[in-house]
Amino acid sequence: MADLAFVLLRQAVEPQPTQVITAARRYGFELMLHSPALDGGGLAFDLTDGAGMIVTLVGVPHPDAVEMPVGVTSPPPEEIAASSAHLIVGTVGLTGDERARDTVLAQLTAAVLDCVDGVGAQLGHGLTFHRAGIFAGAAKLAADQQEQLPVEVAVDVTAAQESASRMSFLTHGLVRYGREELFVTCEIEGKGALSFVYDLARWLITQPSGYPPTGDTVGRTAEEKLPVARVPSPTGDGPEVIRLDLP
């Protein structure tokens, strides 16, 4: 099974193999440069567990980046548009479930990102690009704490205006981990809504039975009682989402 990630570059410069190998050690991986070299260019590395990683420089802008939604952790649209090249990071032979493979892929991609002038990165299944520092920081945190990839990179979050005074946050990616997506509305001038979305997404991923029933209540405090509703996705596609309306 192959897993992919993408890195947006300011310039079309391939990372140096020795730098990638050194950077990977910071994330807990020992890489060996694969020999012979790949036909058609690109770098290939072997992992000690038998898996492999291929890094391919594509000297043109990512074909879809400027059309992708911008998430709350995305680079500014003008930086995405200015990216002149991108890298494809592919892994083969990773084991485990989606969360485990995503964690390893993110860490290996972050090692590559540490060696280039990157704008942002995303896992292949993602909807948005994450700023380079956020992506690498989340991967390093997982490595340092020997935990799975933080929800801030594992799950994408987009924002939309609902009315003159209200907005919403929508998650993209919880379904990959067997959970329902979150649709949370809040006051535009309010505070703490995004943190609440991430906290609830983290709880849903980590709790084996994290399925609050419709009509039940959740909240940011013991006193707050937000009714759980299930509604069609505001994207118009996919399964129902959990809707919560913050005051």
Q: What is the pLDDT of residues 65-105, one digit of tens each?
A: 999 999 999 999 999 999 999 999 999 999 999 999 999 99
Whether 194 and 215 have beta carbons less than 8 Å apart is answered as no
pLDDT of residue 238: 87
pLDDT of residue 43: 94
Residue 190 has pLDDT above 70, yes or no: yes
Alpha carbons within 13 A on the beta-carbon side of 217: 10
Confidence of residue 174 (pLDDT cuts 50, 70, 90): very high
Q: What percent of the chain has pLDDT over 70?
A: 97
Q: What is the pLDDT of residues 5-30, one digit of tens each?
A: 999 999 999 999 999 999 999 999 99
The beta strands (E) that lie in the chain are given as 2-9, 31-33, 43-47, 52-58, 85-92, 118-123, 130-131, 156-161, 166-172, 182-187, 217-218, 226-227, 229-231, 241-245
Residue 36 has pLDDT above 90, yes or no: no
pLDDT of residue 199: 95
Distance CA(16)–CA(35), nearest Å, equals 15
Mean pLDDT over each residue of the chain, to the nearest integer: 94
Confidence of residue 34 (pLDDT cuts 50, 70, 90): confident
Enumerate the domain spans of the chain.
Answer: 2-153, 155-245
pLDDT of residue 212: 85
Q: What is the pLDDT of residues 192-232, one digit of tens each?
A: 999 999 999 999 998 877 678 998 998 888 888 999 999 99
Can you tell me whether residue 162 is helix, strand or coil?
A: coil
Tell me the pairing of strands 118-123 and 130-131. antiparallel
Vertex 61 angle, CA 92 and 67, to 5°: 95
CB-neighbour burial class of residue 104 (10 A; exposed 0-12, middle 13-18, buried 19+): buried
pLDDT of residue 221: 87
Whether 5 and 124 have beta carbons less than 8 Å apart is answered as yes
Phi and psi angles of residue 168, each rounded to the nearest 5 degrees, phi first: -145, 155
Q: Containing H/E element for 101?
A: helix 98-113
pLDDT of residue 148: 95
Say which amino acid occupies 111. A
pLDDT of residue 37: 58
Distance CA(75)–CA(86), nearest Å, equals 15
Q: What is the pLDDT of residues 115-129, one digit of tens each?
A: 999 999 999 999 999
Average pLDDT (150-170) is: 97
